[in-house]
């Protein structure tokens, strides 16, 4: 293996932001972070909710903010299993589920702010007013001053809210002052109100809202304690409500950021949900942004001023399968940094470690692409294992077939598998319908839907799949793993009777002066014209998906190529059994028409006209080959 030069130094970083900050190959804080609209919105405070799919860069923004200056303090809350269990199980008599859980989140925010103020008052302001000293006493009395074990302290705080916290530091005697509360919920709210007023007073006494940048409170990795159960959803709804309450109560002194997975946020349903739309920002990655990210990380790892041209034309091959390399890469990734980083790193490792090269070749990209596709298919089922445990069992419906799938074809495949799916996942029987699985597969990014001349995949604010939409495309990311490498599953033309003779050149010209030579030539010309007629009809089917048109064109051009091999331009035709050859081609046309008809593609696409043309040409070839020897009737009138 060679030393690799630039390729040996090249690395696109770690897939998870936490390791990308600390690992020696980590690039996040070494120029490998690409500021995005979501990052700008988070920094400016315009948005409170940063929403994105797994691997879309939520934690990268969080880690970058933790490293940035310009804040009075930064606190990151990542609830582990113990903390998550304490929140999910938290209940208060007199309050419905998510209202109760909002109180425990409010407690977390208030305590974290209080702990910050205890240190901040001395370090930033050089004084400790009475309100801050009160917070010190409160934290000591409730065991909250030291230690970072959120789970244990949260369990203790939850118990205090359900019974009574020690509020003597604020001059409140719980047994007397809160005895008139009509319920557990009311008592807990009164206790929280005392704590939050104490925190707000300390911020005001220090003048934090005008003296400096705010305290930044962030919550990340909620998905690690989420289980798609009602109490988990209530936990997240409670978090949203508590964050809005804390941001309102503390004004400019505190800024709160929540990083939430899109599938979790979109599963929530609560009356106050419309109040959060102005706080939302969804992370969206374009191919152009992923290119910029790849270049930034390549520069950071190689520590040279690498240009885009050098990266994509010298380090990587300029094209892969006749497609510009970056376009090839990022069409085959779900639009998120994690996928791009994994694919690019895998190509580097395949070229340098496996093959010992000093640059990446097209062969390396194709080999890495097979492994990457298998990874992503497995990762998709694991990503949605909690919400859609049946997802992995839907993938066989798409194996070893075309990646363009009609609703009719999917209906047929689903009916064959429905009984088994319902038996394996009885709790999800209501979701395991044709429309149900289409919605799920679209939502997770596995299927796109054809709209006009475009294929739309989930993301942003696109409509969900509509009942009238009938053509779906497997995402390029998953096609190789499924063996769905062509648009439609069309059998190629394979005239085996000719293969050996073409390879050996053993044709031999026909006897000179006979009419059979002239007839054979005309029959072969008719086959070529039939192919051109079909291709012209395909070209007129402008509503047909381009990938399907291309696949039909490829198969018809195979026949034209064979005809040109038999009768090179300017040469006399060879003495093969042309009648048998035409019957073979006619049979192939009939099979091709049947496959296209069975594909279930909508008539509105023009597929019906293409099928009719192919069937007509098949009949024409049979008539010609079956006519009288030497006859030129059909041929002359063609």
How much is the pLDDT for 24? Answer: 63
Q: Count CB neighbours of 115 within 10 A.
A: 19
Any idea which of 31-35, 284-288, 314-318, 557-561 has the lowest mean pLDDT? Answer: 31-35
pLDDT confidence of residue 200: 94
E runs forming strands in 283-329: 319-320, 323-324
Q: What is the DSSP string of 11-75?
A: ----SSHHHHHHSTT--TTTT-----HHHHHHHHTS-SEEEE-TTSSHHHHHHHHHH---SSEEE
The three-state secondary structure class of 213 is coil
| Mean pLDDT of all residues in 453-462 | 81
Higher-scoring residue by pLDDT: 285, 159: 285
Give me the pLDDT at residue 462, please. Answer: 74
- Encoded tokens for 311: 């990266």
CB atoms within 10 A of CB 210: 8
pLDDT digit string (tens) for 313-352? 999 999 999 999 999 999 999 999 999 999 999 999 999 9
Structure tokens at 517: 């030579």
| Percent of the chain scoring above 90 in pLDDT | 44
* Beta-carbon count within 10 A of 14 CB: 20
Residue 255 has φ and ψ, to the nearest 5°, of -120, 135
Distance CA 267, CA 485 (A): 33
- How much is the mean pLDDT over the chain? 85
For residue 2, pLDDT beyond 70:
no
Domain residue spans of the chain = 6-15+286-383, 38-282, 391-482, 496-637
Q: Which residues contact 422 (CB under 8 A, 6 or more apart)?
A: 429, 432
* pLDDT on residue 570: 44
Within a 10 A sphere around the Cβ of 392, how many other Cβ atoms?
15
More confident residue, 489 or 412: 412
Residue 67 has pLDDT above 90, yes or no: no
Query: pLDDT category, 270, cuts 50, 70, 90?
Result: confident
Beta-sheet strand order (sheet of 454-456): 404-406, 471-474, 447-451, 454-456
Rg (CA), the chain: 33
Token reading at 613: 């043309």
Per-residue pLDDT, 631: 41
CB 244 within 8 A of CB 275: yes
Confidence of residue 503 (pLDDT cuts 50, 70, 90): very low
Lowest average pLDDT, out of 130-139, 167-176, 318-327, goes to 167-176
In angstroms, what CA-CA distances link 580 with 517, 616, 626? 15, 19, 10
Helix, strand, coil share (%) of the chain residues, nearest 5: 60, 5, 30
Exposure on the CB side of residue 90, measured as CA atoms within 13 A: 37
Handedness of CA 545, 547, 550, 554 (dihedral sign): negative
Are β-strands 404-406 and 471-474 bridged in parallel, bridged antiparallel, or unpaired?
Answer: antiparallel
Enumerate residues 6+ apart whose C-beta is below 8 A from 449. 442, 455, 456, 465, 469, 471, 472, 473
Strand partners, 217: 75, 256
Beta strands 49-52; 471-474: pairing state: unpaired
Q: What is the pLDDT of residues 530-579, one digit of tens each?
A: 999 999 999 888 888 888 889 899 999 988 888 887 765 444 445 578 88
| Cα–Cα distance, 48 to 256 (Å, whole number) | 6
pLDDT of residue 242: 93
CA atoms within 13 A on the CB side of 21: 12
> How is residue 491 annotated by DSSP?
P
pLDDT given at position 309: 94
> Dihedral of CA 292/295/301/305: which sign?
negative
Q: CA 456, CA 464: separation in Å to the nearest integer?
A: 10
pLDDT at 452: 83
The pLDDT of residue 199 is 94
Which of the four pLDDT bands, split at 50, 70 and 90, describes residue 207? very high
Q: How far apart are CA 636 and CA 522, in angstroms?
A: 9
Two tokens, residue 304: 């040279």
Query: Which residues on adjacent β-strands are paired with residue 456?
Result: 449
Query: Which token pair is 142?
Result: 């409730």
Indicate whether 515 pLDDT > 70.
no
How confident is the model at residue 635, as a pLDDT?
40
Count Cα atoms within 13 angstroms, Cβ side, for 556.
Answer: 28
Bridge partners of residue 260, in order along the sequence: 51
- The region of weakest confidence among 102-116, 315-329, 427-441, 602-616 is 602-616
From CA 279, how far away is CA 45, in angstroms rounded? 10
Helix (H, G, I), strand (E, B) or coil at 456: strand
How much is the pLDDT for 157? 78
Q: How far apart are alpha carbons 465 and 484 in whole angstroms?
A: 22
Q: Between helices 287-302 and 337-349, what is the axis angle to 10°? A: 50
Residues 225 and 81 sit within 8 Å (Cβ to Cβ): yes
Higher pLDDT residue, 180 or 60?
Answer: 60
Measured at the CA of 48, the angle between CA 42 and CA 51, to 5 degrees, comes to 85
pLDDT of residue 27: 67
Number of H helices, E strands in the chain: 27, 11
Q: Are 391 and 440 in contact (CB under 8 A)?
A: yes
Averaged pLDDT, 517-526: 79
Phi, psi of 455 (to 5 degrees): -110, 120
Q: For residues 577 and 558, what is the distance between their CA atoms, to the nearest angstrom? A: 19
* 261-285 as b/e: b if 16+ CB within 10 A: bbbbbeeeebeeeeebeebebbbbb
Residue 151 is predicted with a pLDDT of 64
Which tens digit of pLDDT belongs to each residue from 469-491? 999 999 999 999 999 988 887 87
Lowest mean pLDDT among 4-18, 136-150, 251-265, 507-521: 507-521
Is the pLDDT assigned to residue 248 strictly greater than 80?
yes
Residue 500 has pLDDT above 60, yes or no: no
How many beta carbons lie within 10 A of that of residue 359, not counting itself? Answer: 15
Residue 630 CB neighbour total at 10 angstroms: 10
Per-residue pLDDT, averaged over 439-466, amounts to 89
81-90, 202-211, 403-412, 423-432 — which is least confidently predicted?
81-90
How distant, in Å, are the alpha carbons of 69, 201, 210, 219, 251 from that of 72?
A: 9, 17, 12, 17, 14
pLDDT band of residue 29 (cuts 50, 70, 90) is low
């Amino acid at each position: 293996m060679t030393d690799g030069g630039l390729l040996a130094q090249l690395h696109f970083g770690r897939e998870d932001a936490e390791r990308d900050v600390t690992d020696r190959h980590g690039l996040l804080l070494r120029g490998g972070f690409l500021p995005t609209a979501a990052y700008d919105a988070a920094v400016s405070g315009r948005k409170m909710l940063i929403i994105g799919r797994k691997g879309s860069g939520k934690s990268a923004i969080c880690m970058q903010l933790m490293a940035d200056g310009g804040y009075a303090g930064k606190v990151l809350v990542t609830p582990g299993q113990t903390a998550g269990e304490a929140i999910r199980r938290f209940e208060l008599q007199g309050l419905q589920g998510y209202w109760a859980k909002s109180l425990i989140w409010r407690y977390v925010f208030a305590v974290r702010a209080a702990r910050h103020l205890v240190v901040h008052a001395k370090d930033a302001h050089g004084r400790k007013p009475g309100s801050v000293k009160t917070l010190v006493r409160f934290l000591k009395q409730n065991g909250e001053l030291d230690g970072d074990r959120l789970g244990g302290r949260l369990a203790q705080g939850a118990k205090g809210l359900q019974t009574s916290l020690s509020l003597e530091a604020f001059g409140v005697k719980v047994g007397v002052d809160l005895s008139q509360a009509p319920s557990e919920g009311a008592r807990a709210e009164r206790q929280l109100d005392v704590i939050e007023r104490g925190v707000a007073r300390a911020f005001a006494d220090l003048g934090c809202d005008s003296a400096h940048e705010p305290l930044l409170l962030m919550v990340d990795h909620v998905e690690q304690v989420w289980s798609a159960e009602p109490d988990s959803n209530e936990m997240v709804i409670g978090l949203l409500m508590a964050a809005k309450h804390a941001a309102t109560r503390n004004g400019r002194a505190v800024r709160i950021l929540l990083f939430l997975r899109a599938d979790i946020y979109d599963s929530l349903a609560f009356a106050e949900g419309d109040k959060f739309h102005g706080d939302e920002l969804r992370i969206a990655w374009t191919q152009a942004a992923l290119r910029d990210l790849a270049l930034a990380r390549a520069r950071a790892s190689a520590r040279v001023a690498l240009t885009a041209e050098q990266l994509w034309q010298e380090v990587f091959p300029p094209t892969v399968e006749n497609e510009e390399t970056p376009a090839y890469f990022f069409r085959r990734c779900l639009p998120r940094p994690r996928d791009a980083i994994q694919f690019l790193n895998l190509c580097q490792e395949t070229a340098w470690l496996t093959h010992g090269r000093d640059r990446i070749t097209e062969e390396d990209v194709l080999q890495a692409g097979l492994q990457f596709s298998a990874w992503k298919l497995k990762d998709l089922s694991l990503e949605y294992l909690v919400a859609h445990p049946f997802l992995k069992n839907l993938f066989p419906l798409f194996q070893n077939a075309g990646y363009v799938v009609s609703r009719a074809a999917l209906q047929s495949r689903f009916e064959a598998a429905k009984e088994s799916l319902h038996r394996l996942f009885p709790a999800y029987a209501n979701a395991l319908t044709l429309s149900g699985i289409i919605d799920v597969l679209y939502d997770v990014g596995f299927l796109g839907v054809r709209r006009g001349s475009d294929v739309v995949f989930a993301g942003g604010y696109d409509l969900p799949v509509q009942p009238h939409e009938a053509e779906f495309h497997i995402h390029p990311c998953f096609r190789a793993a499924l063996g769905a490498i062509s648009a439609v599953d069309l059998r190629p033309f394979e005239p085996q009777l000719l293969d050996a003779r073409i390879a050996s050149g053993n044709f031999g010209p026909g006897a000179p002066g006979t009419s059979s030579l002239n007839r054979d030539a005309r029959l072969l010309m008719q086959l070529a014209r039939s192919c051109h007629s079909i291709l012209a009809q395909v070209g007129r089917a402008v509503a047909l998906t381009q990938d399907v048109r291309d696949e039909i064109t490829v198969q018809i051009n195979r026949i034209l190529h064979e005809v040109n091999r038999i009768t090179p331009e300017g040469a006399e035709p060879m003495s093969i059994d042309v009648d048998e050859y035409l019957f073979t081609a006619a049979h192939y046309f009939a099979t091709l028409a049947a496959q296209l008809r069975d594909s279930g593609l909508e008539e509105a696409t023009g597929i019906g006209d293409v099928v009719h043309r192919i069937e007509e040409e098949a009949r024409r070839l049979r008539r010609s080959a079956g006519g009288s020897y030497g006859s030129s009737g059909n041929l002359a009138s063609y």
